[in-house]
């Protein structure tokens, strides 16, 4: 059955449990009216997802709804911002209700967990594409930027790395992929509480969407510094150990595959004890993987100090 655009909006997109007090006017008018709390800066991020590029063909609608919000929440986390409002543009090949039902279920169940209200959007016909814009708050001047890393800072990551990349490889090769690993690709868990907890502690942060090496590279460029990583210290899950037998390949997944949505952040040595106290509560855990230095470039080393040569590179949508 096919509904009109208007019916789709009313039946699915306008139905949500979250009603925020700072939304003066939500879905239904020409624009939403929103109130930014005094003393706060608005953090704004947007991410587009295209089938076959940002999620494999045939990904279930619930996961697509989850992921398009999760990747934007991950950007909020990387700034230390508290998520608040989302707007959504969606292109659908046809107004298929079962897709929209699953999509909004995935979107709203994550939105509910993080107190996010969908306040507007646009629904059009076209090849499947979803674009979500996220708005959050951070106390004026307290946003965690990429540019604050300083020589001597420790480099940390949350969670484990490489799982989503390994899942994607299995799917593309038509191998069976375990549910846990598939979830790491399809339903990333944004590190929102962790990002907020890093305010005042981290000197710089980024979320890992294109692979650790590529994304840490952005911190290094923005901060005008270099870094040395101990590849033997990279946090790898038991699932990655099961599906990738070669230990060097595992490190390559952790260093260069995308879609992890973990945070990579830098902390000055005198703040590390505060970090450990705060991070004690975090389920995902944190791992120290290296140090910022003044010499430009990224040096990858094994535990014994010998250099590690990386074959793969971070995912770049415009690369060959």
Contact residues: ligand ADP, CB under 6 A:
9, 13, 27-30, 88, 90, 118, 120-123
Which of ligand ADP, Mg ion, none interacts with 90 (beta carbon under 5 to 8 A by kind)?
Answer: ligand ADP
| Long-range pairs, 168-174, Cβ under 8 A, ≥24 | 168/56, 168/257, 168/259, 169/257, 170/243, 171/56, 172/56
In this structure, the chain runs to a length of: 320
For ligand ADP, give the closer residue by CB, 128 or 167.
128
Q: Which residue's C-beta sits nearest to Mg ion?
A: 30
Taking contact as CB under 5 A, which single stretch among the options 25-33, 179-187, 188-196, 238-246 is the one that binds Mg ion?
25-33
Residue 320 binds to Mg ion (criterion: CB under 5 A): no
d(CA 157, CA 263): 6
Rounded CA-CA distance 39/50 in Å is 36
Nearer to ligand ADP, 118 or 202 (CB): 118
Nearer to ligand ADP, 89 or 284 (CB): 89
* Contact partner, 28, from ligand ADP, Mg ion, none, Cβ < 5-8 Å per class: ligand ADP
Of 30, 179, 281, 304, the residue at the interface with Mg ion (CB under 5 A) is 30
* Residue 102, number of CB atoms within 10 A of its CB: 18
Residue 219 partner contact from Mg ion, ligand ADP, none using kind-dependent CB cut-offs of 5 to 8 Å: none
Q: Residue count at the site for Mg ion (CB under 5 A)?
A: 1
Please report how close the Cβ of residue 65 comes to ligand ADP at its closest, in angstroms.
11
The minimum distance between CB 94 and ligand ADP, in angstroms, equals 15
Residue 81 Cβ vs ligand ADP, minimum distance, rounded to whole Å: 21
**Neighbouring-strand partners of residue 137:** 42, 82
- At closest approach, how far in Å is the CB of 111 from Mg ion? 24
Only one residue has tokens 């690369």, namely 319
The rounded Cα 181 to chain-centroid distance in angstroms is 16
Q: How many angstroms from the chain centroid is the CA of residue 81?
A: 13
Cβ at position 228, least distance to Mg ion in Å: 54
Q: Rounded CA gap, 66 and 88, in Å?
A: 13
Q: Of the two residues 25 and 248, which places its CB atom closer to ligand ADP in the complex?
A: 25
Which partner from the list Mg ion, ligand ADP, none does 88 bind, CB cut-off 5 to 8 Å by kind?
Answer: ligand ADP
- Give the nearest distance from C-beta 31 to Mg ion in angstroms: 8
Chosen from ligand ADP, Mg ion, none, partner binding at 285 (C-beta under 5 to 8 Å by type): none
Q: Closest approach of Cβ 121 to Mg ion, in Å? A: 12
Kindly indicate which of the ranges 29-37, 92-100, 130-138, 197-205 contains the residues binding Mg ion, using the contact rule CB under 5 A: 29-37
Query: Shortest approach of ligand ADP to residue 130 CB, angstroms?
Result: 9
* CA dist., res. 284 & res. 159, Å (int): 5
CA torsion sign for 200, 205, 207, 212 is: negative
Helical pair 179-186 and 163-172, crossing angle rounded to 10 deg: 100
Considering only residues 117 through 156, tell me which ones interact with Mg ion, judged by CB under 5 A. Answer: none
Q: Which is nearer to ligand ADP, 9 or 205 (CB)?
A: 9
List interacting residues with Mg ion (CB under 5 A): 30
């Amino acid at each position: 059955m096919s509904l009109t655009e208007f019916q789709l909006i009313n039946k699915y997109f306008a139905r949500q449990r979250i009603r925020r007090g700072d939304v003066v006017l939500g879905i239904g008018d020409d624009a939403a009216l929103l109130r930014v709390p005094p003393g706060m800066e608005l953090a704004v991020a947007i991410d587009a997802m295209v089938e076959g590029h940002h999620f494999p063909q045939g990904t279930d609608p619930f996961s697509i709804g989850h992921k398009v919000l999760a990747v934007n929440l991950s950007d909020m986390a990387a700034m230390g911002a508290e998520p608040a409002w989302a707007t959504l543009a969606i292109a659908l090949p046809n107004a298929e209700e079962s897709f929209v039902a699953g999509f909004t279920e995935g979107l709203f169940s994550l939105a509910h967990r993080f107190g996010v209200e969908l306040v507007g959007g646009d629904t059009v016909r076209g090849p499947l594409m979803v674009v979500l814009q996220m708005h959050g708050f951070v106390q004026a001047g307290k946003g965690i930027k990429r540019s604050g890393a300083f020589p001597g800072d420790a480099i940390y990551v949350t969670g484990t790395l490489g799982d989503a990349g390994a899942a994607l490889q299995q799917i593309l090769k038509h191998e069976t992929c375990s549910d846990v690993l598939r979830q790491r690709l399809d339903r990333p868990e944004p590190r929102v509480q962790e990002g907020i907890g890093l305010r005042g502690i981290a000197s710089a942060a980024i979320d890992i969407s294109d692979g650790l090496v590529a994304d840490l590279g952005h911190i290094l460029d923005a901060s005008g510094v270099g870094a040395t990583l101990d590849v033997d210290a990279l946090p790898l899950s038991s699932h990655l150990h099961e599906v990738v037998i070669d230990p060097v390949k595992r490190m390559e997944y952790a260093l260069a595959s995308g879609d992890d949505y973990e945070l990579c952040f830098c902390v000055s040595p005198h703040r590390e004890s505060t970090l450990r106290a705060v991070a004690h509560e975090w389920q995902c855990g944190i791992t120290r993987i290296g140090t910022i230095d003044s010499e430009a470039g990224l040096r990858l080393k094994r535990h014994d100090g010998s250099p590690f040569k990386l074959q793969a590179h971070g995912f770049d949508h415009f690369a060959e």
